[in-house]
Structure 1
């Protein structure tokens, strides 16, 4: 009798185990490891630049900087929340460079990400041109950054782009890459940082913070005045943020010194 009960218990435990056992997870294939993340960067950057450009072209004068600030910040938050598990939701070349330097991205994805982001910037700007009236489009130079003119304080604009990009990139690195400070609220954090940056410095440089956001409208409207500011400033700011995390703010796995 005892032997029969033992056999029944063994059978029961086997049945329970087999029912609750999950099939082993399949390793990601080539599409999921390379092509899908790159396509996510292309699609995400396209819609971010599209929405951002339209918000500038169709901006109501009485709204001032508030309308573009809210649109850019909320668009970033939504796209980051949707695609973070696919590509990391960079949508910005300085973010990609900084994340790679902090160990959050494989080397073979850096150049494809950058190409997809710039291509997405052009596609998004083209979509904005198709949607808006020619009069408003021309008046806003296609949402290219036309704020800087001859006699403008170029040094202040460059410094603004560096410092504000450094701030938002630091938020990205600490919120999404650094293990000790990683947070599920990172989409909200990055979106809010974009909003406060545009509200604070929008009248100084336009607060681009993203060469892909500047490149697309410049191509579509053929407006290149002081375009270099929106490459030099954001890239320098992203590199400074990466240095801060690697040398000072990162956890022991991320920090290079003082471990």
Structure 2
């Protein structure tokens, strides 16, 4: 009886880590090591590319709606397509939070972080090639320029932290936590991006992703208050991971009150 229970637990663990039931031993070295990293580069690249273009070519009449919809829908589509290859992180705070919650090993997490930053720079480069030079210059290449003075600093920093905490919590609960895991995860994550951009676009620009901030900064050389878009999102991601690890996670994820 004990052996049957152990076998059942092992099967459940395999299904959670591999939802489509593909045995890990069927993956070759390319699929285990290189393909996920390539997916993180390409996914982040396309997300940053299309996000930057939506800002650079945005027309005044649409306001924040165009960038909000583009960023949110891009996330939803890319997550739906690439989740079974790499987990579709495309964002350093997500990777850090997933690592804290035990969803990825440290070595792979570090490689994902590097790949995401590379993808961010490549995506911003594609946006520069595609867009009209005048529009690109007017929008500073979609770099985050909304914070102009120290008076805005704390509001913007808190906004980046709080909004990243929200979306990271959605990611962890909808895509990682076994009790709340949902096939609607891409839709839920994309909707949360749209909500955040509509709510906080005028306060911080709603970056929530250091890779999204880094690419345009490298392409344009605009580094004013750039650190906000690292410290805020990463702090928010860590807070979200703590919420799931301590309060919201299932027994496998939660570290207290099991």
Q: Under a length normalisation based on structure 1, what TM-score does the superposition of the two structures give?
A: 0.90
SS at 1:81's partner residue?
A: helix
The Cα of 1:111 is off from its aligned counterpart by 1.1
SS in 2 for 1:117: helix
How far off is 1:29 after superposition? Answer: 1.5
Map 1:60-75 onto structure 2 (within 5 A): 60-75=59-74
**Aligned counterparts, 1:1-259, within 5 A:** 26-259=25-258
Secondary structure at 2:256 match in 1: coil
CA distance in 2, matches of 1:107, 1:158: 27
- CA shift digits 1:23-69 (9 cap, x unpaired): x9852121111100000000000000000000000001110000000
Distance 1:128 1:83 in 2: 22
Q: Within 1, Cα distance between the matches of 2:150 and 2:102?
A: 41
Q: State the shift of 1:152 in Å.
A: 4.1
Deviations 1:153-203 (A, max 9, x none): 110000000000000000000001100000000000000000000000000
Aligned residues between the structures:
236
Stretches of structure 2 that go unaligned for 5 or more consecutive residues are 1-22
CA distance in 1, matches of 2:193, 2:24: 37
Q: CA deviation at 1:106?
A: 1.7
Work out the CA distance in 1 between the residues paired with 2:196 and 2:142: 18
Distance in 1, Cα, partners of 2:159 & 2:192: 14
CA distances 1:212-235 after superposition (whole Å, capped 9, x unpaired):
000000000100000000000000
How big is the shift at 1:107?
A: 1.7
Where 1:153 maps in the other structure, the secondary structure is helix
Q: Distance in 2 between matches of 1:86 and 1:228?
A: 31
Structure 2 CA distance for aligned equivalents of residues 229 and 48 of structure 1 = 20
2:12 matched residue in structure 1: none
- Residue 205 of structure 1: SS of its match in structure 2? coil
Deviation readout 1:64-84 (Å, 9 max, x if unpaired): 000000000000000000000
Q: Could you list the runs of 5+ residues in structure 1 that have no partner in the other structure? A: 1-23
Please identify the structure whose Cα radius of gyration is greater.
Answer: 1
